[in-house]
């Protein structure tokens, strides 16, 4: 496929430098207001464009894809996750799908480590105490948290982000454990000094800190089910910077209310942007607005990957970050 200036629809506002570059290269339709496109707007848009650039919050399902005209040949998603795109529907229509892997690894690992620190040392509670004007000075027993050094960290999903988190965790003196579909390469395992658990159930029951770093797929939906959540030690904390759908959020909330977990750090939620009102009231939970990858550098890197994928595709080559091949 070769187009001089393909028509490209961008569904959300991107960094200015990326939008400027896209306007130079393509006939780009931007979302100036940064308002989420409605389903009707998406369906109308895909009928008249060559390339769609959605984000992870856009639901590009079979209905949207089947509404596309014959011109739409590429969905160049701005994000690493691909669970928002119906890959089978795209494949059936001969539409190539790409994502932006690798560029968010360090930023997300940083945020995961920050949440581990924030929950363990009660940083959210302390910050709120100072702002409230109710802090009356240091005492030996006030705001006691948990020491990280010597604790056991269980990483669920030892991909790029999980491995980057493991490197950070070692610097804090944490013992690294992980569950994956299969063990990582022995050289990486040795570098990270990480212990592989074939049984997720057994690992859950023995960790002090658990971090979810696996993608959302049909196989990982409610991976931490009610049964598995109840295997976790009462003194443990749970961190999720991956996808909210990997956890049975209703059960997690009830366990936190009942004191059956020491705490949680959540950057993602099962029904974003909705957050259960009960979670908002809990002092032992740190809640963030899905900002694990939100650095300027990361967003620019993502945009540059989108541009490379589009440019490579319109030049008649296979994009480097394809997740669905063309016909």
* Whether residues 97 and 121 fall in one domain: no
Alpha-carbon Rg for the chain in angstroms:
22
Task: Specify which residues 176 forms β-bridges with.
Answer: 153, 194
Residue at 123 is within a domain = yes
DSSP state, 325?
Answer: -
| Angle at 324 (CA atoms; ends 323, 327), nearest 5 degrees | 150
* Whether residues 150 and 52 fall in one domain: no
Of the residues 177, 243, 245, 270, which is catalytic?
Answer: 243
Closest listed residue to residue 167, CA positions, set 143, 189, 131, 192: 192
* Whether residues 99 and 232 fall in one domain: no
Of the residues 27, 41, 260, 272, which is catalytic?
Answer: 272
Residue at 1 is within a domain = no
- Look up 243 and say whether it is catalytic: yes
* Whether residues 28 and 153 fall in one domain: no
Which pLDDT does position 327 carry in this prediction? 64
Residue at 42 is within a domain = yes
* Whether residues 143 and 74 fall in one domain: no
Q: What CA–CA distance (Å, rounded) separates 247 from 74?
A: 32
User: Which residue range(s) make up the domain with 316?
Assistant: 7-103+296-324
Which pLDDT does position 2 carry in this prediction? 46
* Whether residues 249 and 304 fall in one domain: no
* Whether residues 38 and 177 fall in one domain: no
Residue at 53 is within a domain = yes
Instruction: Assess contact for 259 and 231: CB atoms under 8 A.
Output: no
* Whether residues 172 and 30 fall in one domain: no
Per-residue pLDDT of the chain (327 residues; tens, 9 = 90+): 445 799 999 999 999 999 999 999 999 999 999 999 999 999 999 999 999 999 999 999 999 999 998 999 999 999 998 999 999 999 999 999 999 999 999 999 999 999 999 999 999 999 999 999 999 999 999 999 999 999 999 999 999 999 999 999 999 999 999 999 999 999 999 999 999 999 999 999 999 999 999 999 999 999 999 999 999 999 999 999 999 999 999 999 999 999 999 999 999 999 999 999 999 999 999 999 999 999 999 999 999 999 999 999 999 999 999 998 766
Residue at 197 is within a domain = yes
Report residue 319 CA to chain centroid gap: 23
Residue at 144 is within a domain = yes
Residue at 2 is within a domain = no
This prediction's pTM: 0.90
Instruction: Assess contact for 267 and 240: CB atoms under 8 A.
Output: yes
Residue at 95 is within a domain = yes
CATH number at residue 219: 3.40.50.720
Which pLDDT does position 3 carry in this prediction? 56
- Look up 84 and say whether it is catalytic: no
* Whether residues 282 and 320 fall in one domain: no
* Whether residues 162 and 233 fall in one domain: yes
Per-residue pLDDT tens over the stretch 77-121: 999 989 999 999 999 999 999 999 999 999 999 999 999 999 999
Question: Which helix (DSSP H) or strand (DSSP E) does residue 128 occupy?
Answer: helix 123-132
Which pLDDT does position 325 carry in this prediction? 78
* Whether residues 56 and 130 fall in one domain: no
Domain count, the chain: 2
Of the residues 71, 290, 304, 322, which is catalytic?
Answer: 290
Token digits of residue 255: 């366990």
* Whether residues 204 and 305 fall in one domain: no
- Look up 290 and say whether it is catalytic: yes
């Amino acid at each position: 496929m070769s187009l001089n200036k393909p028509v490209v629809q961008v569904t959300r506002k991107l960094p200015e430098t990326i939008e400027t570059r896209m306007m130079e290269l393509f006939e780009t339709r931007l979302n100036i207001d940064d308002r989420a496109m409605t389903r009707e707007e998406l369906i109308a848009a895909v009928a008249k464009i060559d390339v769609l650039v959605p984000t992870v919050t856009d639901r590009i399902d079979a209905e949207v894809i089947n509404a596309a005209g014959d011109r739409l040949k590429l969905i160049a998603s701005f994000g690493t996750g691909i669970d928002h795109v119906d890959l089978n529907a795209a494949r059936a229509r001969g539409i190539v799908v790409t994502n932006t892997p690798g560029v968010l690894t360090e930023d997300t690992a940083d945020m995961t480590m920050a949440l581990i620190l924030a929950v363990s040392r009660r940083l959210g509670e302390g910050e709120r105490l100072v702002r409230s004007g109710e802090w009356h000075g240091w005492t030996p027993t006030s705001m006691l948290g948990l020491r990280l050094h010597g604790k056991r960290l269980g990483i669920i999903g030892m991909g790029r982000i999980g491995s980057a988190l493991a490197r950070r965790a070692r610097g804090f003196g944490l013992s690294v454990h992980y569950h994956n579909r299969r063990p990582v390469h022995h050289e990486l395992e040795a570098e990270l000094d990480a212990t592989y658990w074939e049984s997720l159930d057994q690992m859950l029951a023995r960790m002090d800190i658990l971090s979810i770093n696996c993608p959302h797929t049909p196989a990982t939906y409610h991976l931490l089910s009610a049964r598995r959540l109840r295997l976790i030690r009462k003194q443990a904390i749970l961190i999720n910077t991956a996808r909210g759908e990997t956890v049975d959020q209703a059960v997690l909330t009830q366990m936190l209310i009942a004191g059956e977990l020491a705490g949680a750090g959540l950057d993602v939620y099962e029904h974003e942007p909705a957050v259960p009102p009960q979670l908002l009231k809990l002092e032992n939970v740190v809640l963030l607005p899905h900002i694990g990858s939100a650095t300027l550098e990361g967003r620019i890197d993502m945009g540059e990957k989108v541009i490379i994928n589009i440019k490579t595709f319109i030049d008649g080559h296979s994009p480097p970050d394809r997740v669905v091949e063309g016909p």
